[in-house]
Amino acid sequence: MNTEDETPLDDALVSTLAVIEGQPLESRAAAYGQLHEQLREGLEGGDVPPRVAG
């Protein structure tokens, strides 16, 4: 992987994965499921402009 192409989101994902890997085996599936859901929501919502508060 080229370090020039890395973003803060890449770093955050790597950190999140490290935390998940440090958990007991029984907890990992739920943590990976939650991460999957967050990533899916981010990808599916990527085409929708953010709402303006008010």
Q: Are 16 and 8 in contact (CB under 8 A)?
A: no
Dist. CA 31–CA 4, nearest whole Å:
29
| pLDDT 10s digits, 1-53 | 455 666 787 899 999 999 999 999 989 999 999 999 999 998 888 665 666 66
pLDDT of 54 > 60? The answer is no
The CB density around residue 33, as the number of other CB atoms within 10 Å, is 10
Pair 9, 17: CB distance under 8 Å: no
Q: What is the pLDDT of residue 50?
A: 61
- The Cα–Cα gap between 26 and 23 comes to 8
d(CA 9, CA 15): 10
* DSSP for residue 2: -
